[in-house]
Each structure stands twice: as C-alpha cells, then as structure tokens.
C-alpha cells in the first residue's frame, strides 16, 4: 500500500484544523487567530498561516495582591504550507545528491505556542514531507520548553509520546520512542549555553524507505504524531493556566525565552531551509516570542524555583525517574 502527495497534503490540512479548533475551544473562544493565506512566489502552492497575538504585552495586571492573566496565548501560530519549487537550496541539493534544478515539493504543519502564564510551557511541533524527483522523506517532532517544570507533568508528556510510538511507530522505520527522544535531546541543544532547550520530546528527520510500499506506514506515524498535540498540550494549557504567578516569575519567563530565540536563529534547520528557499519570512519567524529579555551574566539565586529549572535542562530518562 502506498500514499500519494494529495492525501498527505489533505492530512496536514486536517491536522492544522483540529489543533486550531482545540486551541480556540480551550481558550474559551476569547482568542481567535488571524488567518493569512499566501502564495509561494518562486513556484506554485503556498500556505495558510494562523497566528494568535495577545493584547497585553506585560502579561498580567495587579488587583490587590493577585496577578492574573488577560489571555492564555501571548504569541502562537499553527501554519500549514504546500510549496512546489524548481530550485533547491544548495545545501539540500548537496545533502540529497540531486541536481539543484530538480522540482521539489515541501509540505507540512509547523506550530509554536508561547503562553502568558509562566506555569504553562512553550511547545513546538513540526510534521513535514519532502519530495524531489525519486527522493522522498518524512520528518517531524515535538518538544516542550517549560520555565517552572513539574516532574509528574514532564513524565506524563513523555509517556504520551511513547504511547504514540508504541502504537504507530516501527523499529525498522526508526520511529521508536527511544530513537526519537535521543535525537531530540541531541538536536534541541544550545552548545554555547551547555543546556538543552527544554525537557525534550521526539525528533525525526529523513524517515524513508527503499520500498515505496512503506510510505503509507511512515505517513500514518507522522499523521498520528501531529494529532497527538491535543493530548500532549491539554494538561498544561487547561490545568496550569489558572495557576497564579508573580512578576518575578514573569520576568524569569521572559529571560528564558531568550534561549528559545537563540536556538531558532542560530541552529534550527527549518528556519534555515525556509530562509534559504526564500519562503515566506513572516510565517517562518512566527515562532519567535512577542517579548523576550537578555540579561548580562545572570544566574538564578540558589535553592529557588528558578535555579531548579537548570536541573531539568539535560537529557534524562524521564519515564524511569
């Protein structure tokens, strides 16, 4: 059994729709996205960007001694794209050993959610498909970046990912939990900081097979991984959004966001491919938070919740903690 590109395209569109529906319902319909449809200027196709931007830059207001949020999502986006081009970026042409003028198709869904509440982690997910001539592969993954992590929630997040892998993954396609987690720990790492971006998740790239009949099985895994976003993020967005937070916690959240920016601009392959292929800049850089801060030579005070985060920023066997 095989699968065609049109079916994959429709599957990614469905993933985008389901995730956006979940986010709107979870925020009580108070936050709606801006939909921006665009055309790929260097070929055909285009995309459907759906972006949330909050209205309150500070993220809280003071009412006596209580600090409460206006909205749940400060900056976020769930983007679908399907582009057809004829000029591969040189790096991609070299990597795949194909001519730069080979026609290619790139499609997928990419999302990032930056919440107001520091108790709700930032989450990133990407599921994608690439085809050039006879070369094709799938990729994708999800990772979580908390500021004030709770061990039980981190374990639950990883268990949900493992359940997806156990049900839809396959060792022969390299879609196991162990391989995806290890690759995620390696990829989402800031070498100049000596720390992981967050508490990891899964990361897969160049999932392919010499047997075309295997394509449907790999696609099913990627499709289910995309839909798993709802189960993965719901405990955080629903349960943690009502937790109170202080101005100090908000400031630490903004400081930690600077690490997110550093990774996306220095190391993220998707960002680099999008820019090099002259994709839509606004959609590519949608992943950056609305507000972030850099502090010179800052270190959290010992024995604080802020310092505790640093113990989470290294590869750990979360399921056996």
State the catalytic residues: 124
**d(C-alpha 309, C-alpha 320), whole Å:** 19
In this structure, the strands spanning 66-68 and 34-39 are unpaired
Please give the span between the terminal C-alpha atoms of the chain, in angstroms, as a whole number.
40
Q: Which parts of the chain fold into alpha helices (H)?
A: 5-26, 90-96, 151-168, 177-187, 215-227, 229-234, 247-266, 269-276, 281-284, 305-309
**d(C-alpha 217, C-alpha 204), whole Å:** 15
* Contact status, residue 241 vs residue 117, Cβ threshold 8 Å: yes
**d(C-alpha 202, C-alpha 80), whole Å:** 20
255 phi, psi to nearest 5 deg: -65, -45
Position of tokens 């809280």?
Answer: 60
Q: Which of 123, 255, 150 is nearest to 193 (CA)?
A: 255
Hey, what are 168's tokens?
């839809």
- Helix, strand, or coil (residue 196): strand
């Amino acid at each position: 059994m095989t699968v065609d590109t049109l079916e994959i395209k429709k599957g990614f569109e469905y993933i985008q729709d389901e995730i956006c529906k979940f986010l709107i319902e979870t925020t009580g319909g108070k936050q709606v996205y801006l939909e921006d449809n665009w055309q790929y200027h260097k070929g055909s196709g285009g995309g459907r960007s759906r972006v949330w931007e909050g209205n309150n830059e500070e993220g809280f207001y003071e009412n006596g001694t209580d600090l409460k949020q206006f909205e749940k999502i400060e900056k976020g986006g769930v983007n679908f794209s399907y582009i057809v081009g004829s000029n591969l970026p040189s790096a991609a042409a070299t990597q795949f050993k194909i001519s730069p003028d080979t026609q290619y198709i790139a499609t997928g869904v990419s999302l990032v959610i930056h919440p107001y509440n520091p108790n709700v982690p930032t989450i990133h997910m990407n599921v994608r498909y690439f085809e050039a001539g006879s070369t094709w592969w799938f990729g994708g993954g999800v990772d979580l970046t908390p500021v004030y992590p709770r061990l039980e929630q981190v374990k639950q997040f990883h268990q949900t990912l493992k359940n997806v892998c156990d049900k839809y993954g396959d060792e022969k396609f390299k879609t196991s939990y162990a391989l995806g987690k290890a690759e995620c720990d390696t990829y989402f790492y800031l070498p100049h900081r000596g720390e992981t971006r967050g508490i990891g998740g899964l990361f897969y790239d160049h999932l392919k097979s010499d047997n075309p009949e295997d394509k449907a099985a790999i696609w099913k895994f990627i499709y289910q991984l995309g839909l798993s976003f709802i189960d993965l993020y719901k405990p955080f967005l629903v349960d943690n959004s009502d937790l109170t937070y202080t101005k100090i916690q908000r400031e630490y959240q903004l400081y930690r966001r600077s690490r997110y920016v550093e990774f996306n601009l220095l190391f993220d392959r998707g960002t680099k491919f999008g820019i090099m292929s002259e994709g839509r800049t606004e959609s590519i850089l949608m992943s950056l938070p609305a507000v972030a801060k850099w502090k010179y030579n800052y270190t959290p005070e010992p024995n604080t919740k802020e310092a505790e985060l640093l113990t989470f920023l290294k590869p750990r066997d979360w399921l056996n903690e």
